[in-house]
Structure formats: C-alpha cells, structure tokens
Chains A and B, each alone.
Chain A
Amino acid sequence: MADRLLTTVSPHLHKKDETIQKAMRNVLLALAPAAIWAVIVFGMNVVYIIAVSMVTAALSELLMRKIMGRKQTLGDLSAMVTALLFAFLLPPTTPLWVVAIGVFIAVALFKELFGGLGKNVFNPAIAARVVLYFLPLAIYGQKFVKPFFWKTSGFFTPVATSVSNGVATFKNLAGGHVDIVAAATPLSLIKNGRLLAPDVITGSTPVAATYVNGAGRPNFVSLFFGLKGGTIGEISVLLLLLGGIFLIYRRTVDWRIPVGIIGTYFVLSLVTWFYPGYALFSGGLWLGAFYMATDWVTSPVTRRGKWIYAVGIGATVFILRFFFSRPEGVALSIFAWNIGALVIDRYIAMPKFGELGVGAFNRLPALPQPAPESYAWRPHFLE
C-alpha cells in the first residue's frame, strides 16, 4: 500500500472543476455566440481570420516554449483565448498576414517573453492590438464594412483590406471584382466630443448599420443586437452581455470589473450628457469590460484593487472618447491599467482580519536580492 500513498501537504481536497483549462474553456464558450454572430454578419471571412489567429497562436507558443526550454502548456487553452480575443479586436476585412503578425506579437512577445501565462504584465491580445495601432500596419485596422456586406461579394469569398498609395480599399482574394464600400462605425460619428450626423463626418461614406433613426444614425436595435459595423467581436452587445453573465455565474470573472467599468463610464457620460445611450452601446466597451479587463493575470487580485482598476478603466475610456475622440480608447485604457493593476496590488494596503489602523498604502520592503528567476522583458521592479 505504502508506495501508492501520496504525502502531499494539506489540503487534500480541491474544488471541483477549478482549473485554468476549465476557466479558459468557459471564456471560449462565452465568446462562441458572438463569434457565430460575426460569421452571420460578416461571412466566412471571420472564420478565416479566427482560424489563422488560433493556428498562429498555437505555433508561436509551441515555438517560444521550445526555444526557452519551458514545458508546453497549450493544453491550458490560454493561447486559444488570446487568439480569439485578438481576432475579435480586428475589422472583418483584416488581411490574414496582418492577423498572423499581430497574434505572434501577442503570444510570443507579450506572453511568452514576459515569462508565460501568469507572468505577463499586459493582456496579450490588447497589447498586440495597441502595438498594431502604432505600426504602419494600422491602416489595415481602419476600414470597416457594413453588416451583410457579403451579399455583394459572396458569403465564402475572402475579402481583405488592401492598400495602394496610402489609400485603403477592399480586395477580393478569389480574384474577382469587389464592389464593397467602406462604412463608418457608429462610434466614429463622435468627433471632437460631438455626435455628428453621418454625412457631416463621413461625406459620401455610409454609416454601417442595418437600422438607422431619423438623423441617419444607427438606432438602438442596430447597436444592441449587433446589426452594425465594427470589429469582429464588438458588434453584438446582447451576446457579449449574455456570455459575460455566464462567466460571472461560473465565477470565471469577477463581476466587479465589468460593473465598475461600464458603471463608471455610464455615470460619467450621464453627468456630462455625452450621448449616454448612444456611446454606451457603440465600440468595444462591452467586449473590453467583460472579456479583456477581466483577464486574471493582468487585473488586480484584491477586491478593492478590482474596484479601483475598473473605475480607472471606465474613466480613462470616457476621457479618451470625450477629449480625444479615440475609438481605440478601450484597448488603450486597459493597456495602461494593466500596469496599474500591478501597482495597485503591491501598494494599496489590504487590512488583515482584525487589523485596525493600517494606512492606505503598503510600504514594500526593498528587494534583498534580484529575484532568482528573471525574465527577459520583465522589469525587476515588478517582482
């Protein structure tokens, strides 16, 4: 008998189904409806993009772990989550090679070089997206199409943005002629802090929505159900919300983060009367709040930390939209607050049970010696 007895330290029980893999699987499940909806709205293009993203992510992780001599962890599905989330942040006409470069940046640089899942400072999908904004490739991420544009090009036909002489148009990869017009996303109607009529801002470009109101802007039905233009994953607020509720119910994500982000944003837009209804349902706020900001690794671990982080993101998104008209505000905000999360965890004090009179901030003892494990891109002060 003796040789089969395990003598590991207590506790000897583990919570059922509480594993990294199951959590990642939950995220993939929660995102599935929104992905299917994107296929319906934008055609098979979406499938091609997601497939390239996932395959590249898997290969990048395999390769990096091989090079760095770490054990392979593809089974934890975290690379698949990153791949899907990254695809969700792209316009449905992003060329596949841009997808591959982007997801390589996400997985190889922002995850594996930092030390792998758990050691990464930034949400890899968000970080790669932010990097793409600042690369010349950014132009590929700026062209959006109307829902059901595939009615003119064919459901299965791959369509990608192409750039010549600095002007982006669309190209039919099957070799045929494409007759697709670029369309403005609902959020892009907000410029310089004002919600404009479509023709003022876009000239001859139509606004990408199936149903519009009297002023020519997408109405609530288009915005909420996802009959609008935008990135692959952000269009259907309804499906994102349902998936998010599923994740909260499964305790994969902490409700404080989405509630804090969306609540803060909504309150600020109410106070300033910054198109509270319209802007709330446009853009990537829901995708970011439920699926990106809630990333375990890059959000704070304490409850009070989560509140600070969530309110911070909500306020930053608002500021970026209000003052700078940045449509990529959600990604930028989360990116910035990913560092905030580490700082919050270390310096915002959490009183222990029965402890009174603790200050608001921790005073961290200085590091006695460099942390034994060092990671190429992980700065020393983060340890």
Chain B
Amino acid sequence: MMAGKTGYKTFKGGIHPPYKKELASAKAIVEAPVPHEVLIPLSQHIGAPNDPLVSQGDRVGLGQKIGASEAFVSAPVHSSVAGTVKEITEVTGFTGAPAKCIVITSDANQPDFERKPGKELDSFSDEELRAIAREAGLVGMGGAAFPTHVKLTPPKDKPVDMVIINAVECEPYLTCDHRTMLERPSDLVQGLKLLLKATGAKKGIIGIEANKMDAVDIMRSAIAGEPDLSVEVMEVKYPEGAEKMLISALTGRKVPPGKLPSEVGCLVQNVGTAVALFEAAAWGKPLYERVLTVTGPGIKEPSNLLARIGTPVSALVEACGGIVGEPARLIVGGPMTGWAQPDDSAPIVKGTSGILALTADVVDVGSEEECVRCGKCVDVCPMFLLPNFIVQAAKNGQWDRAEMWGALDCFECGCCSFTCPAYIPHVDYVREAKAGIAAAKRG
C-alpha cells in the first residue's frame, strides 16, 4: 500500500497521460442500433478455441449458444441477434489476426431479451455460480478476456479472501465503467456479492480513481449497510487498473512474477464482468452485449453504447455520427493498449471496451531513434523491468537476455513507449521477444 502525491492509494511507477474522459463521461449509456449483420468471433477468450454449434442456414435466437468447447479454460459464445446464420468464415479480427466468425443476418424485428425468473440471489451456491458464469460465456471485460469461471476456481490451497472490483478505468478516453457505476450501482453491488459468494471471500473492495468522484459517492451510498464492502478512492495514474498494480495499491500485497492474483488471496473483476454475472444469475442472460465507449476527437458524438457483440466498428462509429476531421488512428480498445485498425470492418468482442478515433493533432508519431539510455522507461515501468534492455536484446535476437530483463513479465501497458524520447515502440519488441523466447524454449 502506498499513498501517492494526492494522498490516495497508488502504486510505484506509471504515467499521467492526458485522460480526455470529459468527451464521453457525461453521456448516458444508450442502446446501439442492431446491425443488419453481426460477425461473432468463435473464440473471444484466452484459452481453448470453441467449435461452432450451428451451421450455415440455421435459425438462431437471441442469446442462443452458438459456439462452445469442452475444455475447462474456455467460454462459450452466444448469438447477439435473432436471425439466420449466413456463413462461418474467417475474417480479420481487431488484432489483425484472422478469426473464425459466425456471420448472422439479423431479422428485421428483433425480440427483447426475456428474463428468466431465477432463484433468490442469496440462495446460489459457489458451484452454481461458477456454472452460471461459464454458461453465460463470461470473460474479463476489461480487455484481457480471461474466462470468469476459471478465475472463480482458485487453487484449493490458495483461498481467496478479497474480491476487488476494478473500477479504475485508467485507460484514457474510456468511460464505460464510469457510466455503468453511475447508472447501475445496485446491479454492480449485487454482482460483487455474487463474486464473494462464489469465492468464499470475506471482503469486497471497489477501487475507483479520484477522477470519478461522482461514481465514488454513488457507489458509497449503494454499499451503505454492507460492512464487508468498501469503496476506495485511488490516485489517478496509469496503469492502475492492471491487476497487479491494483492489488498492490489497495492491499499492499505483491503478486510475484508469473503468478496469478490468487497467489496473494485476491480476485479482481472488472465492473462490466460483475454486472454481467448479476445479469446471468438474476435474469439468465448470457453475455451477448456490452457497454463500450466510442469516443475521441475524431468522433462526431462521443457516446457510451450498449452494443451487440459482433457489431462491426463501422456501424458503431456511424451510430455516433461518424468521423469528423482527419482521422489518424482508429483504435479498438483504449489509447494505451488498444489495437490500431487498418479499416473499420473488425467486429467488437466481449473484451472491447472502446472504439477510438484519434486525429492527427493528438497522435504524435516521432521517428524511432537509437536508445539514448535516459532511463525514463525504467522509471515508469510498473513491473520494474528494463524495457531498454529488452529492446536491445530483441534487436540482437538474444532471447535468453530478453527473458532476463523481464520480457515475459511485461504486460504491455505501454508506459515505457509513452515516455521514451527516442520513440522506441517497446511493446512491438516485447511481443517479438515473447515469441522468440517461446520458440527458443520449444527448441
């Protein structure tokens, strides 16, 4: 635990990018129009790939399971519209890698989701909750997309005593978690209580950065009378929403390199995931839509949208009035870790928290120079790695050295490149090093 300059809890290292949350933070969540066609990637999680459960020409209903896998580390996908399967094909996903997608043409008349009357929320057992999370296809919605039921199954010898709701939203521009807290505080609290139930943890913490004091107030009143729950205000700093940084800031516990939060008895879940767990348990609703922020200086009407999974970026940009000015980068995700798109065709997935259009004036593309050893990247790296040496080793193809300097512990937050006067794209080299290390280990 560490108090930052503002007196709020924080971690060591990190940066202060321009946040620009004001573009969308006052915009209430609205439902995005249902596109005439959705492209639902079969696998939207970290883990084993899914197999399709439908084939070309099949009719599918809203929320019908259309892809699944037997493997434990996997999460099924559901149809986000009622319609007809047009084809199952490979499209280029938002990461630029090809992804197998189920393309569904939506019916002209879309049904509303029918809530299934469920049990009393208090009466669920941990087993049942894990099954519900799995059936609903829940994954971490902050971007990592790790299957939730796996996280809810910590190793037997490492009991979880604390559940942390990651409401930090440290990525600049994004406001979807902020809006969710403002508009659905009690659903979030219910979700958190279900998470406590599922893990047997005693304590629940909601960590919110100090630039969302309205959400802090609302969440504080929403947890009133719950002695086990608390809301913590945190210093505004990137990447505070990274699991390890968040845990360290709130509890002082340090997750060792290569280990998971359960190592220190913590479980971290994103705001969206907690609300989705509530929806799955209370209403039987699978994860087929999510709140995301479409924003940036290149978007006419920055908005927070409730969008169907599989909606192409173009449809969402259009729903926000389209592009204005000279777009220089169109990004899926946040500006620090998101993926720059070559065009606007990629579909959004469960882990997509935003779409960003940056104009030329905010995008600073310097040319990559030789590292001048200023040490600024070392100072800001929240993992205390040596990004400059990782880059050097990667350039030289020295994979064992890249590993020694910490390439495998890098979670690609981008703090190093943000602050590098030589404009070195460290994350690019780190990915190269990770691949190189893996290849070297395979022999």
Give A residues with C-beta under 8 Å from B. 1-2, 4-16, 18-20, 22-23, 73, 76, 115-119, 251, 254, 296-303, 306, 345, 350-356, 362, 364-365, 367-369, 371-373, 383
- Extra contacts, 20 of them, besides A5-B342, A352-B406 (Cβ < 8 A), are A2-B342, A5-B327, A8-B329, A11-B335, A12-B331, A15-B17, A18-B420, A19-B421, A20-B369, A20-B372, A117-B369, A118-B373, A350-B384, A353-B248, A353-B384, A354-B256, A355-B256, A355-B257, A364-B401, A365-B400
Residue of B356, B369, B420 with most partner-chain A CB within 10 A: B369
B3 adjacent to chain A (CB < 8 Å):
no
- When A and B form their complex, which 6 residue pairs have the shortest distance between CB atoms, in order from nearest? A11-B414, A118-B370, A301-B375, A354-B254, A365-B400, A296-B374
Q: With both chains docked as a complex, state the minimum distance between the C-beta of B117 and any C-beta of chain A, in angstroms.
A: 44
- Can you name the residue of chain A whose Cβ is closest to the Cβ of B364? A14
- Can you name the residue of chain B whose Cβ is closest to the Cβ of A9? B428
Contact with A along B1-38 (1 / 0, CB 8 A): 00000000000000101100000000000000000000
The B297-340 residues at the A interface (CB cut-off 8 A) are: 323, 326-331, 333, 335-340
Cα(A383)–Cα(B371), bound, Å: 13
Q: Which residues of A contact B423 (CB under 8 A)?
A: 14, 19
Verify B340–A353 contact, CB threshold 8 A: no
Given A352-B406, A354-B244, A355-B256, does the pair A11, B340 have CB atoms closer than 8 Å?
no
Q: Which residues of B contact A20 (CB under 8 A)?
A: 369, 372, 421-422
Q: Which residues of B contact A2 (CB under 8 A)?
A: 342-343
Q: With both chains docked as a complex, state the minimum distance between the C-beta of B130 and any C-beta of chain A, in angstroms.
A: 27
Q: With both chains docked as a complex, state the minimum distance between the C-beta of B248 and any C-beta of chain A, in angstroms.
A: 8
Q: Which residues of B contact A6 (CB under 8 A)?
A: 328-329, 340, 363, 365
The B230-267 residues at the A interface (CB cut-off 8 A) are: 244, 248, 254-257, 259
Q: With both chains docked as a complex, state the minimum distance between the C-beta of A375 and any C-beta of chain B, in angstroms.
A: 11
Contact with A along B90-126 (1 / 0, CB 8 A): 0000001000000000000000000000000000000
- Can you name the residue of chain A whose Cβ is closest to the Cβ of B172? A13
Verify B256–A11 contact, CB threshold 8 A: no
Q: With both chains docked as a complex, state the minimum distance between the C-beta of B174 and any C-beta of chain A, in angstroms.
A: 13
Q: With both chains docked as a complex, state the minimum distance between the C-beta of A379 and any C-beta of chain B, in angstroms.
A: 15
- Can you name the residue of chain A whose Cβ is closest to the Cβ of B370? A118
Q: With both chains docked as a complex, state the minimum distance between the C-beta of A141 and any C-beta of chain B, in angstroms.
A: 29
Cα(A353)–Cα(B409), bound, Å: 9
Q: With both chains docked as a complex, state the minimum distance between the C-beta of B292 and any C-beta of chain A, in angstroms.
A: 17
Cα(A10)–Cα(B397), bound, Å: 22
B386 adjacent to chain A (CB < 8 Å):
yes
Verify A14–B418 contact, CB threshold 8 A: yes
For the side of the interface on B, what is the size category? 35 or more
B75 adjacent to chain A (CB < 8 Å):
no
Q: Could you jot down 27 A-B contacts, CB within 8 Å?
A: A1-B327, A7-B96, A7-B342, A10-B338, A13-B362, A14-B364, A16-B18, A20-B369, A20-B421, A20-B422, A118-B369, A298-B373, A300-B375, A301-B388, A302-B378, A302-B386, A306-B375, A345-B389, A350-B378, A352-B409, A353-B248, A353-B257, A354-B248, A354-B255, A354-B256, A365-B404, A373-B395
B189 adjacent to chain A (CB < 8 Å):
no
Verify A12–B256 contact, CB threshold 8 A: no
- Can you name the residue of chain B whose Cβ is closest to the Cβ of A19? B421
Give B residues with C-beta under 8 Å from A. 15, 17-18, 96, 172, 244, 248, 254-257, 259, 323, 326-331, 333, 335-344, 356, 358, 362-366, 369-376, 378-379, 382-386, 388-389, 392, 395-398, 400-401, 404, 406, 409, 412, 414-415, 417-423, 425, 427-428, 431
Q: Which residues of B contact A22 (CB under 8 A)?
A: 421
Q: With both chains docked as a complex, state the minimum distance between the C-beta of A175 and any C-beta of chain B, in angstroms.
A: 46
Q: With both chains docked as a complex, state the minimum distance between the C-beta of A353 and any C-beta of chain B, in angstroms.
A: 5
Cα(A1)–Cα(B360), bound, Å: 13
Q: With both chains docked as a complex, state the minimum distance between the C-beta of A308 and any C-beta of chain B, in angstroms.
A: 13
- Can you name the residue of chain B whose Cβ is closest to the Cβ of A116? B370
Cα(A383)–Cα(B331), bound, Å: 36
Q: Which residues of B contact A19 (CB under 8 A)?
A: 366, 421, 423
- Can you name the residue of chain A whose Cβ is closest to the Cβ of B343? A2
Verify A352–B383 contact, CB threshold 8 A: yes
Cα(A300)–Cα(B389), bound, Å: 12
Verify A14–B417 contact, CB threshold 8 A: yes
Cα(A340)–Cα(B421), bound, Å: 24
Q: With both chains docked as a complex, state the minimum distance between the C-beta of A142 and any C-beta of chain B, in angstroms.
A: 34
Q: Which of B372, B406, B419 contacts A15 (CB under 8 A)?
A: B419
- Can you name the residue of chain B whose Cβ is closest to the Cβ of A370? B396
- Can you name the residue of chain B whose Cβ is closest to the Cβ of A383? B396
Cα(A10)–Cα(B172), bound, Å: 13
Cα(A352)–Cα(B356), bound, Å: 33
Q: Which of B15, B257, B364, B427 contacts A10 (CB under 8 A)?
A: B427
Verify B417–A11 contact, CB threshold 8 A: yes
Q: Which residues of A contact B336 (CB under 8 A)?
A: 10-13
Verify B340–A10 contact, CB threshold 8 A: yes
